[in-house]
Structure 1
Amino acid sequence: MDNSADVAKKGPETNNACKRATGAGGSCKDTESKDKTDVEMTMGKHVGLTTAVSLIVGSVIGSGIFISPKGVLEDTGSVALCLIVWTGSGIIAFLGGLVYAELGMIVKKSGGEYAYIRQAFGNVLAYLYAWTSIMVIKTSSIAITSLTFAEYLTTLFEMCGQSEIPKNLIAAIALVTIALVNGYSTNLAARVQIAFTVAKVGALIVIIVGGMVKLAKGWRMELMTGFEGTTESPSTIALAFYGALFAYDGWNNLNYVTEELQNPTRNLPLANIAGILLVMVIYILTNISYYSVMTKQELLDAQAVAVLWADRVIGAAAIIIPISVMISTFGAANGSAFSTNRIVHVAARDKNLPTILSYIHYKRRTPLPSIIFTCLVALLMIIPGDIASLIDFFSFTSWLFYGLTFSSLVVLRFTIKDVQRPYKVPFPS
């Protein structure tokens, strides 16, 4: 492995290094004179538009749409307000995606929030974000989705009459598998993301189409209740947004791999807009489908909303739902790991983490040390096995830094005025 920040060679050695890098899909950059050339090893540009959209959609659609509808309804009290909260949360995520699109045009570095906070507010806050993200935000998100994957996998053992394997062990195996995929090849990780995104979207389309068929047959009584039973507590409604926003989390994942994105000027804003809008439409239609076949009370009493829907609509084929959730959560964990590795890599490259974590495998062109480190931290979080506490652990700190990142755009409007902005968020500056 070679250091991504400063690998310097001279003469014939430099030429050989460039051949090795470009031949494996990486790139070499000559930054000095003919007498002395600095060669920077990079991971190459493997992320096209299709992969970019699948990274966003695949990271967002995890366990949230299968577990959050119950909590959002409980906090809103009515079907109409529940759907408004899901729509409003999608709009918030969409506006965040617009902000991140411009930030990605100004600061053309991987690392997402880390890179933007560092540019706007300096290294101290970026350093704090890097450690908080790696030790709390991103790794807990990976642990949550891995544990959810394990919970649904164990339901298959129960259906087959087999003894249950410990959930923590299954989650750990899934996490190590994801680390191996990401460590072996960036292209392989991207293909896995695309495949799992197509599968999970396909499963949700089955739910949406099934619900539309029931609506066409007149199963719309619960939707007709409108605002009946709406809660009057603003703080409780705020909690409903909190739950829905958890289901939308991951909308910012593409900005962690900006340096690996092909044609970022076009693909970054386009993928952010298309990916988030697609998720929002899917989430709203999925919720409508839920209410087409069950009452509010049935949804609140259900242990697994999607499983109850499947029992009502597709009967014997209901086994596809836990399989779909497994696909969904595995894909989301892969997307989260893919982006988290880049935060570790970029922060280490800036000397905010041990330098060895910035190294890239010279053959695979993958950030292997950062992948191993991320996997180890997430494995430690899996040990307690408590998803609820991990969600609480994750959510507050996550949105705290999102807010700080949003404010960095305002700062950069005044501190970096001359940089070309192919896309610009429409607000006064």
Structure 2
Amino acid sequence: MKDNKYEKLNLKREIGLLSAVSLVAGTMIGSGIFMSPQFVLSNIGSPGASLIIWFICGLVTMCAALSYAELGTIFTESGGDFIYVLRIYGPFPAFFVAFTFMFVMKPSNMAAVALGFAEYILAPFYQGCEPPALVVKCTAATCILVVASANILNIRFTMVAQVVFMAAKVIALTVIVIGGILTMVQGSTESLSSSDVAFKDTKLGASSIGMALYQGLWSYAGWCSLNFVTEEVKKPEVNLPRAIMIAIPTVTIFYLLVNVSYLAAMTPREMMFSTAVAVTWGNKVLGGWGWVMSIAAALSSFGSLNGSFFSGGRVCFVAAREGHLPDILAMAHVRRLTPSPALIFTTIISLIVLIPGDFEGIVNFFGFTAWFFYGVTLSGLLYLKIKKPDLPRAYSVPIVIPILVLLAAVFLVLAPIIDNPRLEYLYVILFILSGVVIYVPFIHYRLFPGLFDKLTVFLQLFLEVAPTDKNL
């Protein structure tokens, strides 16, 4: 409901450089580096090739993030891919970005991170066996509800928590790196002792490489989180590219060193059949203190979920503000100044996705969908560079960078389908296209406006929210 008689509220610019770095790196370092290494290795087949995959993932992520940084200085609104596609291509394709992000990408991301948290927090209680699926999913659901509540209640608290969790993650990864160095000093380097051993059994099929990249890139998910909250970043034209240049290379170096440490302590077979690779590493390297890695991995996942919630709710919020979703989702709490309706909606969808999903399946479909839309967004940047080179921007990347990332996105979308077609990918595509059933009657033709206005007024009073000012 858009009515001038309501006082407009502003979301505050609370994110400085330290918070920005913590948001990007803290969202990236989650359950991925503690869950994905065994899946990368099993898909690509050899330790040496798995390290190359991790390096390529870091390089692709860095190039993609720098390209998004340029878009963020051209369009300084929050919303990430949605706002970029809206401003470049118009409302119809932008709706599909918002629709897919809300119902597939962000809920899948949150559900997978929460599952990673549950697997690790439960590992000490189920040593030697997998915890029951129902217990894992109930624990994951509790984690989602706790993080959602924190984000709804106070923005400043969630950003402070993000910095604290970021520090805990760096300590945990540093312990793994140092443990790996000590293990190699003691002579345990069999998996990487020679090129013949390191690259034995490498799988070079398009599907194998694509699936390995999906799992690796999942660990880097969160690289564009600042683009979703640009309006809440102090001096975004400076802090957006600067935070990316600090966070992503740091995370990439950590990931490579952590994987070397895993391979130094475990055989490839031990890694591939581990249910919680960091716990297996901890038991072998730290002995009786192995449980510490379970707690560290769980805290890392919790911090990543916190950052994901903070940025993810803003897409729903901005899409509603632009008229692509019910107006209630573009409102903020009158006292806490948090986009609580959007966050509540995101929480509900995440809990629904959690019910049937498993970690590996969720990650693969997230990767397929995410890189399709990353490709659409990057094609928009290329259009702006070629057709509107004089458009004001505080930061610019060489055109070759978005071209390379766009080619990578095309490969990531097509490789699994061409080499190993699966019916599930067709379901994802059909679900995305089903958004037209909502767009045409309710967005384009605005059917039943009276009904939606009455519902908006009721929810405004119930949730204590009011419209926000677009011009922050």
Q: TM-score range by the shorter chain?
A: 0.7 to 0.9
Deviates more, 1:353-362 or 1:408-417: 408-417
Give % identity: 39
2:149 to 161, 180, 198: 180
Question: What is the alpha-carbon distance in structure 1 between the residues aligned to residue 109 and residue 287 of structure 2?
Answer: 33
Q: CA deviation at 1:384?
A: 2.4
Query: In the alignment, which residue of structure 1 is the partner of 2:123?
Result: 155
Does 1:300 find its partner at 2:272?
Answer: yes
Please report how far the alpha carbon of residue 263 of structure 1 lies from its aligned counterpart in structure 2 after TM superposition.
Answer: 0.9
Q: Quote the offset at 1:7 in angstroms.
A: 4.5
Segment drifting more, 219-228 vs 287-296: 219-228
State whether structure 2 residue 227 is matched by structure 1 residue 259. no
Contact 1:359 1:369 in 2 (8 A): yes
Map of 2:181 onto structure 1: 212
Question: How many pairs align?
Answer: 396
Which residue matches 1:193? 162
Q: In structure 2, do the counterparts of structure 1 residues 400 and 81 end up closer, same or farther at CA, with 3 Å as the change threshold? A: same
Query: Residue 74 of structure 1 aligns with which residue?
Result: 42
1:95-143: CA deviations, max 9, x gaps? Answer: 0011001000000010000011111111111111101100111011111
- Asked if the contact 2:316–2:342 (Cα under 8 Å) also holds between the matched residues in 1, the reply is yes
User: What amino acid is aligned across from residue 295 of structure 1 in structure 2?
Assistant: T
> What is the distance in 1 between the residues matched to 2:359 and 2:263?
26
- 3-state secondary structure, aligned to 1:166: helix
> Within the alignment, does 1:123 sit opposite 2:123 as a pair?
no
User: Residues 406 and 387 of structure 1: is their aligned pair in 2 closer, same or farther, counting only changes over 3 Å?
Assistant: same
**225 and 145 in structure 1: CA distance in 2 versus 1, 3 angstrom threshold:** same
| Equivalent residue number for residue 33 of structure 2 | 65
1:281 counterpart residue number = 253
Which of 13, 22, 45 aligns to 1:54? It is 22
Preserved CA contact (<8 Å) 1:79 1:225 = no
Structure-1-length-normalised TM-score: 0.87
Say yes or no: does 1:83 pair with 2:51: yes
Equivalent residue in structure 2 for 1:346, among 318, 339, 349: 318
Distance between the aligned counterparts of 1:180 and 1:201, measured in 2? 25
| Aligned residue in 2 for 1:383 | 355
CA contact (8 A) 1:349 1:355 kept: yes
Query: How far has the Cα of 1:230 moved from its partner?
Result: 2.6
The secondary structure found in structure 1 opposite 2:334 is coil
Distance 1:158 1:222 in 2: 28
Equivalent pair of 1:86/1:283 in contact (CA under 8 Å): yes
**Pick aligned residue for 1:357 from 329, 332, 338:** 329
SS in 2 for 1:360: strand
Aligned to 2:417: none
Gaps of 5+ in 2: 404-472
Structure 2 letter corresponding to 1:381: V
Offset from partner CA, 1:234-265 (integer Å, 9 cap, x none): 44223222221122111111110000000111
Length-normalised TM-score, structure 2: 0.80
State the Cα deviation string for residues 269-293 of structure 1 (Å, max 9, x = none): 0111211111101100000111111
User: In 2 relative to 1, CA 49–85 (structure 1 residues): closer, same or farther, beyond 3 Å?
Assistant: same
